[in-house]
Amino acid sequence: MFVSDILSRKGGLVHTVTPGTSVGQISQQLSTRHIGSVLILDSGDSVAGIVSERDLVHAFARHGAAALDLEARQVMTRDVVTCDPDDSIDHVMQLMTRGRFRHLPVVRHGELLGLVSIGDVVKARLEEAHHETEALRAYIVAG
């Protein structure tokens, strides 16, 4: 199974903000949309960074309530690891585990195509395991 399989099911909707968006606005978006991160796009619509719930926790721990007035550019993770639609689910799981993050933008040739979460990846892997189990069961029964 591949990242493209996940995107074909869930779609390519990605919540994005600009580098000047306040932490307060980002926090509100994460809460109301029930999401765990937003991507920061530069003026050319390229991924400049990502702000996750973890980034917000770090900002509040360092700055207290004043963090609400900080801008995305001040708290975002800049070196964003991305994946390609042709990457396998196993590869994406390795990237997420090694990097200790839960969201990966899907990018091809500089174009943002979507975002996959650890939940998307686990769900896809469970479906794949279920299909493998069913195939083995059918093989044994036909035996």
Q: Which range marks the domain in which residue 97 is found?
A: 3-142
Look at residue 49 and give its three-state secondary structure: strand
Structural domain count of the chain: 1
What is the pTM for the complete model shown?
0.87
CATH of residue 93? 3.10.580.10
Look at residue 39 and give its three-state secondary structure: strand
Q: Which amino acid, residue 116?
A: V
Task: State pLDDT tens for residues 55-79.
Answer: 999 999 999 999 999 999 999 999 9
Look at residue 117 and give its three-state secondary structure: strand
Beta strands 47-52 and 103-108 are: unpaired
Task: State pLDDT tens for residues 96-131.
Answer: 999 999 999 999 998 999 999 999 999 988 888 878
Does 141 or 86 have the greater pLDDT score? Answer: 86
Give the whole-number percent of the chain exceeding pLDDT 90: 80
Angle CA(123)–CA(125)–CA(128) in degrees, nearest 5?
Answer: 110
Helices (H), the chain: 3-10, 23-33, 53-63, 72-75, 89-99, 118-142
